[in-house]
Amino acid sequence: MTEENILQLNQRLLDAIAAADWATYEELCDPELTAFEPEARGQRVEGLDFHRFYFDLGKPDGARHTTMVDPRVRMLGENAALVTCIRLVQAETPSGPTTQRAEETRVWLRRDGHWRHVHFHRSDSA
Ligand code: GLY
């Protein structure tokens, strides 16, 4: 797996989040995913249930587009990779287009030949 392939996986994950596509998100994530994100108010979240809540709210009404700005991949041996980027999410809302920005770190691990997302940390949106 090349660094470019890891970035494609990361983009696929972010696109799944933007589209509320639970099947793809679940396929790409380890069941024991850990996360720090603003929604969890400083708590480390483990597993997928916390994230599923947001997918179950349904698909967003307006269009969304996610861009990884200045993405970097650092391979940690052959079976782990660290992705860092600024994540921009453009959204169509009733009051007009908006853009949210956050710093993200995501960790990917290969087990049994499959790459899975195992941990992420996202800053507050700005
Ligand atoms: N809140 C889900 C994710 O960012 O992976």
DSSP-assigned letters across all residues of the chain: --HHHHHHHHHHHHHHHHTT-HHHHHHHEEEEEEEE-GGGTTPPEESSHHHHHHHHT---SS-EEEEEEEEEEEE-SSSEEEEEEEEEEEEEETTEEEEEEEEEEEEEEEETTEEEEEEEEEPPP-
If the chain, 126 residues long, is cut into consecutive pieces of 10 residues, what is the mean pLDDT of each piece? 93 97 98 98 97 96 96 97 98 96 98 97 89
Q: CATH number of the domain that 47 lies in?
A: 3.10.450.50
Range of the domain at 65: 3-125
Query: For residue 2, how far is its CA from the centre of ligand 1 (angstroms)?
Result: 23
This prediction's pTM: 0.96
Atom index in ligand 1 nearest the CA of residue 29 equals: 5
Domain count, the chain: 1
Q: Which residue's CA is the nearest one to ligand 1's atom 1? A: 51
